[in-house]
């Protein structure tokens, strides 16, 4: 009997020794297992032949569509939600495992300074949004690369959103700049992802280089053009050789343009479009010699005259004095915008890029006009003569005034000295200036300096202080 009991005990010990260790899992841990059952909305997973895990409901759906591809017998990784449910099974999640896997990958990207793909799904005025592996990801406007940055006049928020909305579905290469695992959010940057490329491009760039670029923005003062991960400004003065009033008349966002690098300061680039074309003014002197008659359209007015468009990018100025034989104070009195008129070249300045024109040089002078001109000239001559006559008189008065000044100063000084010697008001012991704040003894040096016309007298100190003066 004793032997039988001993044998039974030995067998139990042997079985216990050979039995696998019980599976101990905690919520938040990842476990590997094999699919033993696949239902419409449920998975059963064998974990090392020791325990069974269950995945159901929303926990089946992850960003990798793992559930859709799984078959019985497939290996799978899941995250423990509960160590045991009412049925004695471990509650698992494919969704949370996917997110944990994503966070691990994001941490690795941060550590290695790697990049990843970002497909924009939403847009607001602050930037673009996406869901990457179940994690909310934000790409701010400020972190967009130059070629994607929405340059908008007056920072119009509705226009910014409209521009950003065009990028929904676009695939960006980005780098993680901040990560908040607790909040389940990350912030990414396209600029940072392109920083190395930008740095290399800047190192190889020199003034004078010509580049094919893309118009990325149009503002009041110029056009932004991007190339090789860089962006530069074509100032309004560098768009065309002629006067440019509105840059949007010369380019549109998305246009392909060739530019020349004319300035390089840090990562700020100054570009030119016009310097890649021949300066029309190089041949201007030959085409518009002094004395040549030309035809042009009135394009704009100024206080001093009117501008005529002679050809593309070439304007000439008709000064007020050259509009007519008679005096004109406003160019709109003689011309209208868009009007075609004949004029004569009277001067040309290549350096200043100016052509002087005259309309009156081509106008005949009738008797009435001639009489009016002579009358105006006579009136001007008369005014000049009067002015000349007034000059000696004015000089004489100026001289007299200069001579009077020392005399007046002398009299003033004498009056001042006299005031010092004038007897004091009866019964007065103190004196003050009506424009001052201090009172003095009449016999003191300060009291004697006060001019008679400004003197205020007091019997005693009490009276002076009551009047607001101090000793």
Q: What is the pLDDT of residues 181-214, one digit of tens each?
A: 888 899 999 988 888 888 888 888 999 999 999 9
Tell me the pTM: 0.50
Q: Residue ranges per domain, the chain?
A: 30-112, 113-193, 196-276, 280-362, 422-466
| Element at 163 (helix H, strand E) | helix 157-165
Q: Tell me the residue ranges of DSSP E strands in 384-454.
A: 430-433, 439-441
The CATH class for the domain spanning 30-112 reads mainly beta
- Model confidence band, residue 400 (pLDDT cutoffs 50, 70, 90): low
Q: What is the pLDDT of residue 215?
A: 92
Q: What is the pLDDT of residue 418?
A: 37
Chain mean pLDDT for the chain: 83
CATH number of 113-193: 2.40.50.140
Q: How far is CA 258 from the centre of its chain?
A: 24
- The Cα diameter of the chain in Å comes to 157
Query: Each residue of 208-218: pLDDT tens digit?
Result: 999 999 998 88
Query: Is there a shared CATH topology between the 196-276 domain and the 280-362 domain?
Result: yes
Distance (Å, whole) CA 241 – CA 260: 14
CATH number of 280-362: 2.40.50.140
Closest CA to 181 of 118, 225, 136: 136
* Whether residue 362 has pLDDT greater than 80: yes
| Element at 417 (helix H, strand E) | helix 367-421
Q: 66: how many CB neighbours lie within 10 A of its CB?
A: 20
What average pLDDT does this structure show over 220-243? 90
The CATH class for the domain spanning 196-276 reads mainly beta
- Model confidence band, residue 470 (pLDDT cutoffs 50, 70, 90): confident
| First-residue to last-residue Cα distance in the chain | 131
DSSP state of 50: T
- Model confidence band, residue 245 (pLDDT cutoffs 50, 70, 90): confident
| SS3 category, 247 | helix
- Model confidence band, residue 420 (pLDDT cutoffs 50, 70, 90): very low
* Whether residue 315 has pLDDT greater than 80: yes
Q: Which has the minimum average pLDDT: 266-270, 433-437, 458-462?
A: 433-437
Q: What is the pLDDT of residue 421?
A: 37
* Whether residue 87 has pLDDT greater than 90: no
| Element at 104 (helix H, strand E) | helix 94-112
Query: Each residue of 48-78: pLDDT tens digit?
Result: 888 899 999 888 877 667 788 889 999 988 8
Closest CA to 148 of 166, 130, 136, 132: 166
* Whether residue 337 has pLDDT greater than 50: yes
């Amino acid at each position: 009997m004793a032997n039988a009991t001993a044998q039974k005990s030995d067998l139990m010990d042997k079985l216990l020794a050979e039995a696998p260790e019980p599976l101990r899992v905690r919520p938040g841990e990842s476990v590997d297992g094999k699919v033993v059952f696949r239902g419409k909305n449920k998975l059963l997973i064998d974990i090392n032949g020791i325990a069974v895990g269950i995945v159901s409901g929303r926990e089946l759906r992850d960003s990798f569509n793992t559930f859709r591809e799984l078959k019985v017998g497939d290996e799978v990784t899941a995250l423990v939600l509960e160590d045991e449910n009412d049925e004695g099974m471990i509650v698992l999640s494919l969704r949370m495992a996917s997110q944990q896997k994503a966070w691990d990958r994001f941490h690795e990207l941060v550590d290695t300074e790697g990049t990843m793909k970002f497909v924009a799904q939403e847009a607001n005025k602050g930037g673009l949004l996406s869901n990457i592996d179940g994690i909310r990801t934000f790409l701010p406007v400020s972190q967009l690369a130059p070629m994607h940055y929405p340059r908008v006049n007056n920072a119009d928020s509705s226009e910014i959103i409209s521009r950003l909305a065009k990028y929904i579905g676009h695939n960006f290469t980005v780098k993680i700049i901040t990560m908040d695992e607790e909040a389940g959010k990350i912030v990414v940057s396209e600029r940072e992802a392109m920083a190395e490329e930008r740095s290399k491009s800047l190192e190889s760039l020199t003034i004078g280089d010509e580049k094919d670029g893309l118009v990325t923005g149009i503002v009041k003062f110029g056009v932004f053009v991007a190339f090789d991960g860089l962006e530069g400004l074509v100032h309004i003065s560098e768009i065309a050789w002629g006067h440019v009033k509105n840059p949007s008349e010369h380019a549109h966002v998305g246009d392909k343009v060739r530019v020349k690098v004319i300035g390089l300061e840090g990562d700020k680039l100054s570009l030119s479009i016009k310097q890649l074309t021949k300066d029309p003014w190089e041949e201007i002197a030959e085409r518009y010699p002094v004395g040549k008659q030309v035809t042009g359209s009135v394009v704009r007015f100024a206080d001093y005259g009117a501008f005529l468009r002679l050809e593309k990018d070439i304007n000439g100025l008709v000064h007020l004095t050259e509009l007519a034989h008679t005096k004109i104070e406003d160019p709109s009195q003689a011309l209208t915008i868009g009007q075609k008129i004949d004029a004569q070249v009277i001067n040309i300045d290549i350096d200043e890029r100016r052509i002087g024109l005259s309309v009156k040089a081509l106008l005949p002078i009738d008797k009435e006009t001639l009489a009016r001109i002579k009358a105006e000239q006579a009136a001007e001559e008369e005014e000049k003569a009067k002015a000349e006559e007034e000059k000696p008189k004015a000089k004489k008065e100026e001289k007299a005034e200069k001579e009077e000044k020392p005399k007046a100063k002398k009299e003033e000084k004498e009056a001042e000295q006299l005031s010092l010697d004038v007897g004091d008001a009866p019964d007065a012991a103190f004196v003050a200036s009506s424009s001052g704040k201090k009172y003095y003894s009449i016999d003191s040096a300060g009291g004697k300096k006060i001019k008679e016309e400004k003197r205020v007298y007091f019997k005693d100190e009490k009276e002076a202080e009551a009047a607001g003066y101090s000793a």
